[in-house]
Amino acid sequence: MAEHRTTRHQARAAAIRQIKDEARRQLREDGVHNLSLRGVARSMGFVSSAIYRYFPSRDELLTALIIDAYDALGEAAEQADDPGAPRAQRWARVCRAVRAWALANPAEYMLIYGSPIPGYQAPRDTVGPATRVAKVLTTIAEDAPDSPLSPTLAKQMTDTAAALDSPIAPGAMARVVRAWTQVSGMVSFELFGQFRGAIEPADEFFDAAVADLAEQVGLGS
Amino acid sequence: MAEHRTTRHQARAAAIRQIKDEARRQLREDGVHNLSLRGVARSMGFVSSAIYRYFPSRDELLTALIIDAYDALGEAAEQADDPGAPRAQRWARVCRAVRAWALANPAEYMLIYGSPIPGYQAPRDTVGPATRVAKVLTTIAEDAPDSPLSPTLAKQMTDTAAALDSPIAPGAMARVVRAWTQVSGMVSFELFGQFRGAIEPADEFFDAAVADLAEQVGLGS
DNA sequence: GTCTATAACTGGATAGAC
DNA sequence: GTCTATCCAGTTATAGAC
């Protein structure tokens, strides 16, 4: 009986995986707003109602894809980090890994860092996976020196550091957040076509900026 | 006869304006992908085919909205600039104006700086208006000192400066582009909900970052 | 001549009968 | 689970109003 249950669970997990894979394919092809449960079902050769056994709504499927995207990006960042290396190098490697993942998975990057999906409200479950990249960057900068902040900003940064479970100083946290907005901003510009006709390829631009950011964050050279 | 032509032209311009206003309303309400010519026509009390007298296709309407958005943002930036003020102040004021415009017009900001619209290819006409903000920022930094760049980067930045019709040094151009990616990155993070629950409100975070960026670009204090 | 309205074609999503 | 009728999208051709 336990075996029965196991195979059933495995089958279910496999089905979910297949559905998500197909959904990701449609995401890449036509964008989020053309992603429909029915379309996924059709492409998989079964009837639309069958999919509701696995995802009760389009939003649930979206949430699963968003969590997967955050996790995949987070894992790419974590795996790129080499805790033995100098901190500035760690920073640069992680940032480059983020960009590489985004360029390899543009649709999924847009899903999490692009325009919000109208009518979709992200549930709590996405918060944890969403912080993984920030956590990696913050850990690298954990010993960076503090710097003065206004009271409001100091509180926000202390809270942010606490949410990331990090002993980083508020001033350093602020510099990490700023640097991260720039990294993400550069990746988004590149991916969304803002650099078209001007900064192509953007490899050197990105790498140079990231190296300088490491310094600005206070990771030495 | 000239009078006749004038009124006709005026009527036509008025119709175009009304169509775009209604389209913007729908954009705000339901997002780009729910923007339909039929819906616009319906809300305006006439039949869908009538719109084709003014916009030959949905994409043309989108292009018009995109150009308007770039122009509105560009004008907000230009009007915020006070050529008589110290450069660091000019920089901060323009950046704050950009953020203020984005917060006041989120749908239009997303139209130009959000995820690309699947199936839509921006025509050449959007390039000019798209550079207006960059032009303002570059002008402010025109006298900033040069800094060393790799050959590839130096060429890209020289070309960018040329496209903006600015005598700015390539190294300074690179710092402006970087700073601009960060400004836009911060605005996007705020608008797209990436700061939710952590950096709210983001006024102080933004203002402090922008002030530091002015320094990094090389605008003195 | 310039516009609007009617009607039609294609193609996808959807709801309900079976 | 399947089939069908319906609806709404973009777009076009054509006919008539001003």
Query: Which residue from A150, A133, A27, A188 is spatially nearest to B181, judged by alpha carbons?
Result: A188
Residue B1 pLDDT = 44
Cβ of A177 within 8 Å of Cβ of B188? The answer is: no
Distance of B11 CA from D16 C1′ (whole Å): 21
Top residue of B182, B186, B191, B207 to mutate, by most chain A CBs within 10 Å, is B182
For the cut 80, the answer to whether the pLDDT of residue A4 exceeds it is: no
The per-residue pLDDT for range B84-94, each reduced to its tens digit, is 999 999 999 99
* Burial profile B14-37: b = 16 or more Cβ within 10 angstroms, e = fewer: ebeeebbebbbebbeeebbeebeb
- Distance from residue B111 (CA) to nucleotide D17 (C1'), in Å? 38
Q: How far apart are the first and last CA of chain B?
A: 60
pLDDT digits (tens, 9 = 90+) for B111-167: 999 999 988 999 999 999 999 999 999 999 999 999 999 999 999 999 999 999 999
Taking CA–CA distances from A124, the nearest residue in chain B reads: B197
* Mean pLDDT for the stretch of residues A143-155: 97
Q: Does the model's pTM come out above 0.75?
A: yes
Measured between CA atoms, the residue of chain A closest to residue B196 is: A127
Within an 8 Å CB–CB cutoff, is residue A192 touching chain B?
A: yes
pLDDT digits (tens, 9 = 90+) for A85-129: 999 999 999 999 999 999 999 999 999 999 998 888 888 889 899
Q: What is the torsion angle, in degrees rounded to the nearest 10, for the CA atoms of residue B134, residue B136, residue B139 and residue B144? A: -60
User: Which H or E run contains B140?
Assistant: helix B132-140
Residues 6+ apart with CB under 8 A from B112: B66, B69, B70, B73, B130
Length of chain A: 221
Chain B hits for A159, CB-CB cut-off 8 Å, are 198
B184 → closest Cβ in A150, A185, A212? A185
* Residues of chain B with C-beta less than 8 angstroms from the C-beta of A110: 115
Residue–nucleotide distance: A80 CA to C14 C1' (Å): 46
Show residues of chain A in contact with B152, CB under 8 Å. Answer: 204
| Phi, psi values for residue A42, rounded to 5° | -60, -50
Predicted pLDDT at A139: 97
Residue A165 contacts B, CB cutoff 8 Å: no
Judge contact between A179 and A216, C-beta under 8 A: yes
Closest approach of A205 to chain B, Cα-based (Å): 6
Scanning every strand, the nucleotide with its C1' closest to A50's CA turns out to be D1
Chain B neighbors of A174, CB-CB under 8 A: 205, 208
User: Which of A40-44, A159-163, B5-9, B32-36 has the lowest average pLDDT?
Assistant: B5-9
How far apart (Å, rounded) are the C-alpha atoms in residues A198 and A69? 29
Q: Count CB pairs under 8 A between chains A and B.
A: 122
**What is the model's pLDDT at position B52?**
94
pLDDT higher than threshold 80 for residue A173 = yes
Q: Encode pLDDT of B186-210 as tens digits.
A: 999 999 999 998 999 999 999 999 9
Residue type, B12: R
What pLDDT score does B4 carry? 56
The nt closest to A49 (CA vs C1′) is D1
